[in-house]
Amino acid sequence: MAGRQRLWDGSSPVTESAGRPGYHARWHDAGEYLMAQDNGPLRNKDHSDGNPEAGLEQILMPAIADDGDDCTFCSTCAFSAACLAEGYDKPSLRRLHCLVEHTGPYRAGDVIFREGEPFTAIAAVRAGTVKTRVLDPDGREQIHGFFLPGEVIGLSAIHATRYPCDAVAIDTVTLCRFSFPLMATLAQEMPRLQGHLFRLLSEDIGKAMMMAGDYSSDARMAAFLVMMSRRYARRGFSPSRFQLAMSRADIGNYMRLAAETVSRVLRRFQDEGTIAVDGRLIEIRDAQALERLAAPMLRD
């Protein structure tokens, strides 16, 4: 079937005999992908599962990136600026065998890669939101980060050559998968691409350092909202009105706050007129006030 997407490991999502033991998959004529693991029931990718509100988040999330065409990159491509700066367009990159694999879709809760698996690829999020996490021996989760369309997962595995964390889909996710050996070879020929990879690594380190300080709950939540606003803006989405795909519990886990504290601070921000909250939909009404609250953490 033309245009069929592939799974993270590069195998075709067709049947168990296609190289995914324990997985059973089928495609509908419209391209709808259904998958279950370990003989579990096939479940529709619309996340409804009998909940009439479960699909609402997908409507409110940013639109899926366009695919571009033969001479342009898709709208959220994490590497297009660096490649175009070197004079390489899509046809040129094809001649250099830098082929991008579209992988997914992954359902909410699907693990994209697991801690300890061999590092073979990085991936740019094409649609949806991904979280990275580690689990302690008792199964408790510690969230390391959230990744939006156009952002790259897997970079933290470069040194150890194994993934140091799990990557998990928060909602329906599709990815652009890049073989890292191929990307590293291409970066030697394209210094700006190499520099872009270094900047992405630096951003990850900066986010981790930001979480290490002793900051108030107000500063932490303000910084989280400001950073989300900036990240959406960089990808062409609204900086003042956006959907948070992650739960309050996940936000609190990441920000080192209780879920109740997250909800309480958001309510106070709303009462003060700084933001408006409607479920997971956030509208920033006083960006300067948020910036002032976030200043101790963001330092910019």
> Which comes out higher in pLDDT, residue 202 or 254?
254
Non-local (6+) Cβ contacts of 213 within 8 A are: 296, 297
pLDDT of residue 59: 32
CA–CA dist 173, 46 (Å, integer): 12
pLDDT per residue as tens digits for the range 81-102: 666 666 667 666 665 445 678 8
pLDDT of residue 104: 87
Alpha helices by DSSP H, 101-216: 180-189, 191-210
pLDDT of residue 23: 31
pLDDT per residue as tens digits for the range 31-79: 232 233 333 322 333 333 444 343 333 333 444 445 555 555 666 677 7
CA–CA dist 183, 175 (Å, integer): 16
Locate CATH 2.60.120.10 in the chain: 61-209
CA–CA dist 126, 138 (Å, integer): 33
The domain made up of 61-209 is a member of CATH 3.40.630.10 = no
Average pLDDT over residues 279-285: 96
CA–CA dist 223, 23 (Å, integer): 40
Please tell me which of 174-178, 209-213, 279-283, 294-298 the model is most confident about, judged by mean pLDDT.
279-283
Locate CATH 1.10.10.10 in the chain: 212-298
Q: What is the mean pLDDT of the chain?
A: 76
| CATH no., domain 212-298 | 1.10.10.10
Of 101-105, 181-185, 251-255, 292-296, which range is least confident? 181-185
DSSP H or E segment with residue 114? none
